[in-house]
Amino acid sequence: MMRHAAQSPDEVFDVVDEHDRVIASAERGEIHRLGLRHRAVHIFWMRRDGQFCLQRRSYAKDSSPGLLSSSCAGHVDSGENYLSAATREFGEELGLQVPASSFREVDYAPCHPDLGNEFVRTYVLAGDWKADPSASEVDSLAWRTLDEIISWTAQEPSAFATPLHHLLARPSVLNALRSLGGCQGGREGRASGSP
């Protein structure tokens, strides 16, 4: 699997309208500079012990460097669908190849400034896998229960990326994270580390 730099300004993403319909494509740098609407995914990964993975974003990132965020987040490439982006990003950032069937979509957030002008689909998955984070993407990982995460974000909000705050305020995301504990020990996909 290719492990790449934190980001490249010439990556190409689809530009979408207010209804998330593709209207053009453009390079990452231009999309961010002009504040154009585009697409992204966030993934919340929980181990069987009920702890969720938080990612401290690489300090080389162009947005929210060094801040804590969901387990994995990334843009949807031009021509790619949301689920394919989620499985690809999980592999690129955390070094884990997890079948698409292991990802459960729990929320579709409309484009919002707090999300970087992105439409965001949020996925959850549960499993005990050994991550091999990409040093160019991820500074470190932290494991906390949902209650600990909520308390931490309230006590130290500036340590967390704005999109994480936005997603945790969405009832469908919060309810899904709370109910994920009921899936502990259930069916989980097989994952492999990066080759």
pLDDT tens, residue by residue, 30-73: 999 999 999 999 999 999 999 999 999 999 887 888 999 999 99
What's the pLDDT tens digit per position in 85-122?
Answer: 999 999 999 999 999 999 999 999 999 999 999 999 99
User: Rounded to the nearest 5 degrees, what angle is found at the Cα of 7, between the Cα atoms of 4 and 11?
Assistant: 95
Average pLDDT over residues 18-26: 97
Model pLDDT, residue 85: 98
- Return the SS3 of 159: helix
Report the alpha-carbon distance of residue 51 to residue 148 in Å, rounded.
9
Distances in Å between the Cα of 7 and the Cα atoms of 74, 137, 160 are 10, 8, 20
pTM above 0.85, yes or no: yes
Q: Measuring CA to CA, which residue among 115, 124, 122 is closest to residue 16?
A: 115
DSSP line for 14-65: EEE-TTS-EEEEEEHHHHHHHT--EEEEEEEEE-TTSPEEEEEEPTT-SSST
Report the alpha-carbon distance of residue 14 to residue 31 in Å, rounded.
9
Model pLDDT, residue 103: 97
Among the CATH numbers 3.40.50.300, 3.90.79.10, 3.10.110.10, 3.90.650.10, which is that of 12-181? 3.90.79.10
What's the pLDDT tens digit per position in 162-185?
Answer: 999 999 999 999 999 999 864 443
Model pLDDT, residue 62: 77
Model pLDDT, residue 194: 39
Element (H, E) at 92: helix 82-94
